Amino acid sequence: MDIRNKIRDVGDFPKPGIMFRDITPLLACPETFRETIKLLADHYRGQEINAIAAAEARGFIFAAPLALELDVAFVPVRKPGKLPFDTQSFHYELEYGTDTLEIHTDAFSKGDKVLMVDDLLATGGTMNACIKLIEQSGAEVVSCAFLIELGFLNGREILAPHDCFALVTYDD
Amino acid sequence: MDIRNKIRDVGDFPKPGIMFRDITPLLACPETFRETIKLLADHYRGQEINAIAAAEARGFIFAAPLALELDVAFVPVRKPGKLPFDTQSFHYELEYGTDTLEIHTDAFSKGDKVLMVDDLLATGGTMNACIKLIEQSGAEVVSCAFLIELGFLNGREILAPHDCFALVTYDD
């Protein structure tokens, strides 16, 4: 698939032993970027979805065009101190320390069907925090869409029973 | 204009006396979000542009759909430690302290015509740093496009002689 050919492997980033999957060549190729959005949209078209949400920053790159393509709201999930209106937060554990994500309290209505989007599914920690944050507000996360899934990190298991969909999977 | 109606004023954010222009209602309305991208694209269609670049995070929300609409490369400008390949940096002064922005060294070719995009032109400090970073690489910034311009902060003067275009301007 051309999408996989536009993802560049960069070794030892962000630390030794880690192979980073670099999406900047894909973003530099409008045909492939457009195909990526189309394939994600085709997978979800016809499903009941009211909004697409994504955590900053790379998630925004795919979520914004996908929201336009599916004709639904785009909701940014942000780090603390970025959203100006009344917010609700979710605190979660990282490998070292903790982090917090926020949404506006009026971002969702009870019963909204939300598609979460990110570029990469690794261990699923950030996406799991997004799901919990959004479901606190009474909305439902119907699926999580990714460009890339690192299958060997078993992020899907963390996110279960939520549905996951990825365009490109790496098995090692 | 409907775009202005979808921008919410939030007082005293991020600090007392500041009126924050909140774009989340616009992002929640796909018709208005689409119209925003269309108006920006219409302004630049037919101009010689090879790439659109934007600094994280809100800039990505407008730059990615605009790059798809204009059929050109999208280049993310990032905080340090985010880009995995060889990078070049630009350090700049903020009100308190300094900050750094990075691009990949292969993001642009000499002579590339680049359109910079962000949601907001305030004092122009971040955009000016982006321009200097990109022009270090031999590319040319042909214009800077914004959803919102805070005219009373005179950001345009900082960015001159670079061209600026904004869809919505606030005069106080």
H or E element that contains B44? helix B30-44
Q: Is residue A172 very low, low, confident or very high in pLDDT (cuts 50, 70, 90)?
A: confident
The mean pLDDT of A59-73, rounded to a whole number, is 98
Domain boundaries, chain B: 48-170
What does the pLDDT look like over A144-167, one tens digit per residue?
A: 999 999 999 999 999 999 999 999
Which of A10, A34, A51 is facing B68, going by the closest CB pair?
Answer: A34
Under-70 pLDDT residues of chain B: 1
Q: How far apart are CA A131 and CA B39, in angstroms?
A: 34
pLDDT digit string, tens, across residues A107-144: 999 999 999 999 999 999 999 999 999 999 999 999 99
CB contacts, 8 Å: B27 with chain A: 64, 67, 73-76
Token pair recorded at residue B120? 């907001």
pLDDT number for residue B172? 87
User: β-strands A51-55, A73-77: how paired?
Assistant: parallel
Looking at residue A55, its pLDDT comes to 98
The answer to whether A56 and A119 are in contact (CB under 8 A) is: no
Q: Mutate one of B19, B50, B58, B60 to test the A interface: name it (highest A CB count within 10 A).
A: B60
Q: Report pLDDT for B67.
A: 98
B60 min Cα distance to partner chain A (Å): 6
Please tell me the predicted confidence (pLDDT) of residue B96: 82
Q: Closest to A24 (Cβ–Cβ): which among B65, B81, B104?
A: B104
Average pLDDT, chain A: 97
Check if the beta carbon of residue B61 is closer than 8 Å to that of residue B27: yes
pLDDT of residue A1: 59
- pTM for the model stands at 0.97
Task: Locate A107 and state its tokens.
Answer: 């971002």
CATH number for the B48-170 domain, one of 3.20.20.450, 3.30.360.10, 3.40.50.2020, 3.40.190.10?
3.40.50.2020
Q: Which residue has the tokens 């799991």?
A: A128
Q: Which residues of A touch B78 (CB under 8 A)?
A: 57
Taking the CA atoms of residue B164, residue B168, residue B169 and residue B172 in that order, the dihedral angle to the nearest 10 degrees is -150
Tell me what ipTM this predicted complex has: 0.97
